[in-house]
Every structure is written in structure tokens, then in C-alpha cells.
Amino acid sequence: MIETARPAAIAPVTAAGRPILEIEGLRVGFPGPGGNPPTVVLDGVDLTIRQGEILGLVGESGSGKSMLALAAMGLLPAPGRVLSGAIRIEGRDLTSLSERAWQQLRGGTLGMVFQDPMTGLNPVRSIGATLGESIRRHQRVAASDVARIAEAALRAVGIPAARERLSAYPHQLSGGLRQRVMIALALVNRPRVIIADEPTTALDATIQAQILDLLRERLHHAEGAGGLMITHDLGVAAEVCDRIAVIYHGRIVETGQTREVLADPRHPYTAGLLAAVPRFDGRGRRLVPIPGQPPGPAAERISCSFRPRCARASEACSAAPALSPPVQGRSVACHHSGGGQ
Amino acid sequence: MSAAPLLAAEGLSVAFDTPRGRVHALEDVSLAVARGETVGLVGESGSGKSTLALTLLRALTPSGGSIRFDGQEIGQLSSRALKPVRRRLQMVFQDPYASLDPRMTVARIVAEPLRAHRFGTRSEIAVRVAELLAAVGLPEEAAQRYPAEFSGGQRQRIAIARAIALEPEMVVADEPVSALDVSIQAQIVNLLQDIQTRMGIAYLVIAHDLPLVHQIADRIVVLYLGRVVEEGPAEAVVARPLHPYTAGLLAATPTVDTAGRPRLRLGGDPPSPIDRPSGCAFHPRCPIARDRCRSERPALTARDGGRRVACHFPGEVPPPLALRPDPV
Amino acid sequence: MTTADRSGAPRALLPRLRLWPAGGAGTAMLGIGLVMVAVLLVLALTVGLNPPREALTGNLRLRFRPPGTEGYLMGTDQLGRSVAGRVGAGMVWSLGIALVAATLALALGTVLGLIAAWVPGWPRRVIRTLIDTVIAFPSLVIAVTVIAIMGRGFWTLAITLGLATCPIAARVVYAEAMSLARRDYVVAAQLAGVGSTTILATHVLPALRPTLLTMFAFTFADMLVAESALSFLGLGVPLTAPSWGNMLSESREFLVEAPWLMLAPAGAIVFAVVALNLIGDGIAARARRRGRSAM
């Protein structure tokens, strides 16, 4: 019963593999009513995920983090669309893909894990049928092998009595087991990219911990694959991700190695988030909230979006800062991040 | 704290009749909240923490045990007899989108308890509503607007204004910040703390977020499957949990300061009250369970330092993790 | 992968007639329905309450004149009475009975439904049993039985139809009130010490309003059809009264030589039913849209 989870060896920066998922200058918008300019929910997002690494995309509601995940899965809700920029998996641009090509990609090259596993599992099909269908669609295997592969996939995600579970239906499983099935489904066809959108938000604390362990272990073991994890919780990102990117109002404001960003946040928003979250070593210390509200997606983008809430805002902030070129893997979009405090 | 507590539950049990038989959501729960104190109640789904909140507030009627508020037994009072108690005991809900009637203006929402208790004339109520909105950091003109025009954090402020309208002595807050954005949570936590300082309100805060509870609570009560498994001063419980479930819960919390450390992991799922395990309900998931745990239910026993624990082998649990991070 | 298809869950099926596509059309539907009802109302108050002499006393020399005959817009019937005049006069009977019956059904149903939702214990059990029992019988059968015993007449018919239909309204109100009772804001009001009557008046009834209005429109239409059906069967209003159902019933004999005798009252019924359904669907669509944007 007791497992002492060992943190997976976090790959050193230098050993990072080839870029596997590249997002370049991605702009996503929803057309305004009556020919008005579109509401831009992602405004020039650049992200690179390399083989063997997990990138955590951290942001609040309305920051555009889920839109990024949906865009990368070809699931943008209508009438939203990619206005410009590129999404590439192993160099192949996906932005002009047909729906049929997306369907071939999803579940195969692209594994997906959602917050609510019930959205990803067909309630009237057994786990085995769902897994089997996915295996047959994406792999060329003998029919007799399908059940064996499915069972192995369930075992790999720590589902006890895997063979019996194949005939179970989603509603017969607990929330934690369902999310394990979802992860098995995402991994069964040896994807190149795995996208997990708030995969543990709906789970209880002890189950969340189990799933985070599993994600960390399986994503790192998935050979040559890269992972993108969307979360609102810095703690969750800290547990699983090698690197994190903080998104605010549709723009990346800071990226870097997880430990470095958390230990030494350079963007005032990242620093603000860290100061606003209760920590076990912070008892009695008053939390420092970020004043104001996160801007809605429709808010203007003339100045730095964080300016109205920023203690360090100055005249310079009336121009939106660009994300700095990476220095030792770190980039910041802030006019004040340069020299010292 | 030795004086009579403001709210004291003794041997409280709540049962529901379901198609599958009688389900005990709470069994033999004892809990006390002193004046001006903050008690944190933690537990996972199925632990009965929300049922406990609603029962203490007498939105539900317990099937056994007693609830005393300021010395008065309220466990079986009729709704008419409860009315004077309601004035002194209020609630803040988790979801500020569901807890405010979308068809009412903010002024009417905040005035609702005032009117119910005949606070004063129409203009006195209007003055009081303005005061309350100011006290929770909302502009005066908010009064004439509808909940839909406000963000989640602002709505929670409205809900807090309603809860403190009658200057209650105690407020039960069920996950008061978990539905809010991270950057907004701290605003609401600080507001609740400021109100406590100003008005001397006692809080019972229900939360799944252990660091938060540790941050704001004087004492922590841990609930598992409808029973209290551990209780004690917040600092002591977090630093040295006596119950293996508390240790597991602590270890499960993802935090930025302890990420990636080797830690205790609980397997399995939280069980359902419908089929409660024998003996200690936690034994199927317990890292230190022995034969005795499978057959004999441990009683909640007092320990040193004002702590109580329901475990046959308290303190034998492996440390959840090194709490202090290495100096970075 | 079977997952996350953008189509999502199947659209909830709208009740009854779907005369208009979903979306922002609720207001349009409501508007057209209200205009149609306004036309009916004006006619009922003018022609209906003060029917022309030609509608009541026939002229046997002018039997079976087709529509368009000078002075007879919809022609004449077997006794040489003006069909248009009789359709107008029939409004008072048909629409009147439906209005009284629908109002009674809704009022009584709301009271019963709210009591069942708010008072657990025996009141809830008794009302629920009553609802289930009455709903188990088709309301027309109940109405036929009662009328066979009580005799015909405006009020007998209206009250019987209302009583026979109120369990349906009661069940809808009960179900909605039960779900409202669990809403946090209702619990919050209870915990603030607000009394049950005040909670019902300030939180529950306002939330029920769209449902009640929608249900009223549909029930009105149902009652109109029920009245016609009963009269058609000879069990409705007195045989001499010019209700639409009676007119339909009488027209059967002359269907081949004078089809307009059937078409005129049938058209009136369809017109009224369509108008009421438009109103009902319009209110429902608007309430749904508001519900979505409020969340």
C-alpha cells in the first residue's frame, strides 16, 4: 500500500532533445459581431516542447491557456479560428489540416487528457472497446493482438485487474481510475505529443497525487514524446513539469526551467502568483494578493496587459513588452525584468 | 479556549435513506469552535464535510447527537425557534455564482437577512447595505446592479457582505475561495481575516486546500468517511501528523516549495459511505494497517498538546515529506 | 478516438411544435404569437361578445352559400347562418372555456406543487399520490365522465378540464421547485432566517415565472383542443351554442357539399393553437438564452 514516489529524474537542460511541438506566433480569435474586429484570445504565442520534456502552461481563467490546448488539438470551438502563426508537430504544420486529418492525428500522434475523463470516454462503450477502436484506427496490428495491447496499456497506468477492467464501462470506475484510463488511451498509440488540460483539477487530493505521479512517470517514459500540461495550479506544474510558461491575457509572460522560475520569478505576475498562494512554510504570514481582476479576453491590448495590477508599472509599460530572447532557457516579457529589482 | 465553546457538536450523526439503504454520512462527530477562533475542516469527497457544515447550521437535522450554540441546544429546534440563532450563525458558500439569486439586485441580496430580522426602516437598511458593501471593498453603486455584472471574486465579496450583515458571532465558510482564480483567492482570504480581526467572528472553514487551512486556521479537524480522524492545533497537525491519513493528505498536496521530493503516497480511492470498510475505515489505504485495524474501530482519543487522533498506532506513520525545503 | 467531438451532446428536444429555429428567434416567435393573440382578443371582444344577428338566426333561403357571397365572408351554413359570425361568437365559448380551464389548472397546480415541494412529510406524500393517480387517467376520459354526470355547460366544462389538467402543472412546478430548493441562494435565504412564504415569493416564484408562462400558453392551447374535441363528441357545451367544436361536429354531415363549414372553425382552432405555441416556445427560448448568459 505504501509507495514512496520517486521524482523522475528531471532531464538536464543540455540534454533536451529535438523540438517536437513548436508553436510560433500563434494568434487565435473569435470574429466580432457584425464585422467588428475579432476578439483575440491568443496573441502571438511562441512555445517549443522538446522530446522528453513536459512543459507546464500556467494561467488563470480567461488567460487563453485552454484555447491554446484546443488549438493544438484542432478542437477550437466555432467560430474561433487560428488567425496567424503555426502549430507544428515534428515540423509539420497543423493549422491548415482538414478535419479528417485532425481525426487521424488525435489519439495517434497526439494524445489527449482532459479535465473530465467522461468527456473523453464514451459512456455506452466498454473501456476495452474504446481502447480497441483507437488501437485499430492508429496501429497496424493483428486483430488478435488488440486486446493484449489494450490490457498492457491499462497495466502501464497502474490499473489493477487490467484484464477484467476491459469489459467495464466508464460509470463503473472511480474518478481516479477513469483518469487513468484516459491516460492509457492517450498513450496507447505511442504519441509524439501529449496534451493534458487540467488533468487533475476534478480529483480529490490523494487521487490527484497518484495521477500526477503517473503523468510524470509515464510522460517521461514515453519515448521521444513531449508533453504539454495546462494548469491553473503552480503547485501542480511544479510537481510534474520540467519547464513552465506563464500565460496572461493571451500572451506568454515568462518561461524557463520550473525550479528557476519558481525560485526566482522575473515577471511581476509570476512573482505575484507565488506570493498569493498559501505555502506550508508561510503560516501567520499574510498572503499578498494581486490587486484587481484578470482582464477578460476582450480587454484591449495596447499596453502591457498586467500594467493595471502591477506594482512596478511605469511610463514604459504603455508599450506592450515583447518576450525577451531566451537567456539560459529563460524569457520574460516585462520592461522591468532587466537589471535587478 | 477553556471557556465554554461557542459552537459544540457532540456525538453528531447524520443518516440519509437512499434506495440502497440507510447511509451514514456522519458518525459520532464531535467538534468545538471557540469565540473568535478559526477551525479548518479538511477531507475529501465523501468525507461528509459539507454535510457537517449544513448540519451545524441546521439546514439539515441530525439523526443523533447534540449541537450546542452558546450553550443552547439547537440540534432539534424548529425553524421558528432557530430564527434568533440564525442571526448569530451565518454561512458563505463555495460557488458565488450559485449562492446569489440572479434576479435580485445586490442591495436586495445583502438586505435579505436584515429584512428577515427586522433590522430597521427601509432607509436604515439602505445605509447598512452601503456600509457592508464598503466593508467588503465594493463600490457604492454596486448596490443597484445584478450579480451577473460581477466577477467571481466580487460575487464572493457580496456573499460575505450578506453573511456579516447581522454581525454574526460565527460564520461557516464552505470552500470560500476554491472556485476563484488564484490571484483573487488571496484577496478573499485577507478580507475574511480582516473581518475576523474587526468583528471577532469565529470561522469554521471547510477546505480541501491544506496549505490554505494551515495558513488561516488555529485548529485543524480532519474528516474521513464521516468521522473525525485527527484534530489539533494547525501547526502541530501539519508539522507532525499523528494519523496516517493526515500524513497522506499532506503529502498529496502539490506545492511549489516541496515539489519533486520523495513522499508518502496513499493508494486506492476514498471509499463511499455506502460500503464502509470494517474496523478502521481507513485500513484499506493505510500504509501501517495491521490485523487489529481490520476488525476494531479506533476511538478518537486525546493526546498531548490538545490533540486528538483516531488510530490504533498513532504517530507510527512515516513522515509525509521533509517540510522545510533545502535552501535554494 | 471517439472523444471530444465538437458536436457534443444531442440538442435538447423542444417540447411540442417547433415552428422556428433555435437561437435569437425567441423574441420574434413571442412577438408574432402575441400579435396573433391580440387579433383573436380584438375579435372576441367585438364580434364575439356582440355577434351579428345573421350568426344566430338563420335565413333558410340563404343556405350553403359559399365563402365570398355578398355579406357572408365565410359563407353560410345549413340553416343559412353566417359562418364568420358563428366563428366569432364561438370564441367566447371556446376561448373562454380554455382560458378559465388553463388559469385554474395553473393556479391550482402551482399551489399544490409548491406545497408538495416545501412541506415534506404527509402533505408531500398525499399530493404526489394524488398527482400520480390523476395523471394515470387521460384527462379527456375524466372530463367525459364528469360531464356525463354533471351535464353540459360553460362552467362545468371549464372547471372539469381545469381540475383534470392541474396535476400536470403541479408535477412540473413540484419538480422545478424541488430543484430550486436545493439552490445555494435558497439555502442561503433559509440560513439567513427568511421565512418559507417570503422565500417562495421572492426566490421561487420569480424563478418559476418563465416556466409558468410557457406552460400557460401550452395548456391554453391544449384546453382549446380539448374543448373542441369534447364538443365534437357531443359532450361539450350545449348543442345550440356556437362553439368551434360544435361547429366542427355539425359540419361533418355537409363535408362534401360545404367544406367551408369545417374549414372555418378548424382554421380558427389552428390559428389560436399556433399563436399560443409561438408564445410558449418564444418564452421558453428567451428564458433559455437568459439562463445561459447569466451563468
Rounded Cα gap, residues A1 and B285, in angstroms: 6
Lowest-pLDDT range of A75-89, A166-180, A206-220: A206-220
Lowest-pLDDT range of A172-176, B49-53, C143-147: C143-147
Q: What is the pLDDT of residue B177?
A: 93
In the structure, what pLDDT confidence band is assigned to residue A320 with cuts at 50, 70 and 90? confident
CB contact under 8 A, A73 and C6: no
* DSSP SS3 for B271: coil
From chain B residues 286-325, the ones with a CB under 8 A of any chain A CB are 286-289, 318, 323-325
CA torsion sign for B71, B77, B83, B88 is positive
Task: List pLDDT tens digits, range A12-45.
Answer: 444 457 899 999 999 999 887 777 788 899 999 9
Rounded Cα gap, residues A89 and A98, in angstroms: 15
> Is the CB of residue A30 less than 8 Å away from at least one CB of chain C?
no
Cβ–Cβ under 8 Å, residues C98 and C220: yes
Mean pLDDT of A274-301: 84
Residue, of A220 and A208, whose pLDDT is higher: A208
Which has the closest alpha carbon to B47: B302, B227, B229? B227
Chain C residues within 8 A of A122 when measuring between CB atoms: 2-3
- Does the pLDDT of residue A6 top 50, yes or no? no
In the structure, what pLDDT confidence band is assigned to residue C17 with cuts at 50, 70 and 90? very low
B87 secondary structure, DSSP code = T
- Chains with 3+ CB–CB pairs under 8 A to B are A, C
For C231, residues 6+ apart whose C-beta sits below 8 A from its C-beta are C237, C243, C244, C245, C246, C248, C249
CB contact under 8 A, A112 and C2: no
Mean pLDDT of B188-204: 95
> Is the CB of residue B252 less than 8 Å away from at least one CB of chain C?
no
Which has the closest alpha carbon to A10: A65, A45, A56, A48? A56
Q: Where are the beta strands (DSSP E) in chain A?
A: 3-5, 19-30, 39-50, 54-58, 81-89, 92-93, 110-113, 193-197, 226-231, 243-248, 251-257, 331-332
Nearest chain A residue to B268, by CA = A207
Instruction: Tell me how far CA of residue B53 lies from CA of A138, B11, B42, B213, in angstroms.
Output: 50, 15, 12, 16
- Does the pLDDT of residue A279 top 90, yes or no? no
Between CA A293 and CA A300, with CA A298 as vertex, the angle to 5 degrees is 80
Distance from CA of B235 to the nearest CA of C (A): 32
Partner residue opposite C194 with nearest CB, options B102, B116, B159: B116
Chain C residues within 8 A of B86 when measuring between CB atoms: 191-193
Q: How many pairs of residues across A and C have Cβ atoms under 8 Å apart? A: 33
CB contact under 8 A, C193 and B95: no
Chain B residues within 8 A of A175 when measuring between CB atoms: 269
CATH number of C26-36+82-289: 1.10.3720.10
Task: List pLDDT tens digits, range A227-278.
Answer: 999 999 999 999 899 999 999 999 999 999 999 999 999 999 999 999 998 8
Chain C residues within 8 A of B148 when measuring between CB atoms: 293-294
**Fold type of domain A50-74+98-109+191-279+286-341:** Rossmann fold (3.40.50)
CB contact under 8 A, C3 and A78: no
| Phi/psi of residue A96, nearest 5 degrees | -105, 15
Distance from CA of B236 to the nearest CA of C (A): 34
Chain B residues within 8 A of C295 when measuring between CB atoms: 97
Nearest chain B residue to C190, by CA = B59
From chain B residues 45-74, the ones with a CB under 8 A of any chain A CB are 45
Boundaries of every domain in chain C: 26-36+82-289
Q: What is the pLDDT of residue B1?
A: 46
**What does pTM read for this prediction?**
0.84
Which residues in A182-207 are b (16+ Cβ under 10 Å) and which e?
bbbbbbbbebbbbbbbbbbebbbbbb
Nearest chain A residue to B238, by CA = A280
Distance from CA of C6 to the nearest CA of A (A): 7
CA torsion sign for C76, C79, C82, C84 is negative
Cβ–Cβ under 8 Å, residues A278 and A265: no
Helices (H), A114-253: 117-120, 127-138, 143-156, 162-165, 175-187, 205-221, 234-240
Side by side, which strands form the sheet with B21-33? B21-33, B7-18, B64-69, B72-73
CB contact under 8 A, B256 and A10: no
Distance from CA of C111 to the nearest CA of B (A): 22
- Does the pLDDT of residue B324 top 90, yes or no? no
Q: What is the pLDDT of residue A14?
A: 40
User: In this structure, are strands B202-206 and A110-113 parallel, antiparallel, or unpaired?
Assistant: unpaired
Q: What is the pLDDT of residue C254?
A: 86
For A341, residues 6+ apart whose C-beta sits below 8 A from its C-beta are none
> Is the CB of residue A124 less than 8 Å away from at least one CB of chain C?
no
CA torsion sign for B283, B287, B293, B294 is positive
Rounded Cα gap, residues B43 and A82, in angstroms: 43
Chain A residues within 8 A of B234 when measuring between CB atoms: 283
Distance from CA of B315 to the nearest CA of C (A): 40
Distance from CA of A105 to the nearest CA of B (A): 32
Mutate to test the interface with B, among C119, C179, C184 (most CBs of B within 10 A): C184
Residue, of C7 and B154, whose pLDDT is higher: B154
Rounded Cα gap, residues B237 and A324, in angstroms: 44
Q: Where are the beta strands (DSSP E) in chain C?
A: none
- Chains with 3+ CB–CB pairs under 8 A to A are B, C
Residue, of A252 and C251, whose pLDDT is higher: A252
In the structure, what pLDDT confidence band is assigned to residue C290 with cuts at 50, 70 and 90? low
From chain A residues 249-308, the ones with a CB under 8 A of any chain C CB are none
- Interface residues of chain C, partner chain B, Cβ below 8 Å: 183-185, 187-196, 198, 202-203, 206-207, 293-295
| Side-chain-side CA neighbours of residue A62 (13 Å) | 16
Q: How many residues does chain A have?
A: 341
Q: What is the pLDDT of residue C204?
A: 95
Q: What is the pLDDT of residue C15?
A: 35
- Where does chain A hold its CATH 3.40.50.300 domain(s)? 50-74+98-109+191-279+286-341
Nearest chain B residue to A177, by CA = B269
Rounded Cα gap, residues B205 and A283, in angstroms: 16
User: CB count, 10 Å around CB of A98?
Assistant: 9
In the structure, what pLDDT confidence band is assigned to residue A192 with cuts at 50, 70 and 90? very high
> Is the CB of residue A288 less than 8 Å away from at least one CB of chain B?
yes
Q: Which amino acid is at A337?
A: S
Q: Which domains does chain B have, with CATH numbers?
A: 1-88+168-328 (3.40.50.300), 97-165 (no CATH)
| Phi/psi of residue A111, nearest 5 degrees | -95, 145
Residue matched to cell numbers 466580487 = B154
* DSSP SS3 for A61: coil
Q: What is the pLDDT of residue A16?
A: 59
Chain C residues within 8 A of A137 when measuring between CB atoms: 1
Mean pLDDT of C22-50: 81
Nearest chain A residue to B265, by CA = A3
Mutate to test the interface with A, among B245, B255, B283, B326 (most CBs of A within 10 A): B255
CB contact under 8 A, B148 and C293: yes
From chain C residues 63-92, the ones with a CB under 8 A of any chain A CB are none
- Does the pLDDT of residue A222 top 80, yes or no? no
Tell me, what's the ipTM? 0.87
In the structure, what pLDDT confidence band is assigned to residue B262 with cuts at 50, 70 and 90? low
Rounded Cα gap, residues A44 and A28, in angstroms: 8
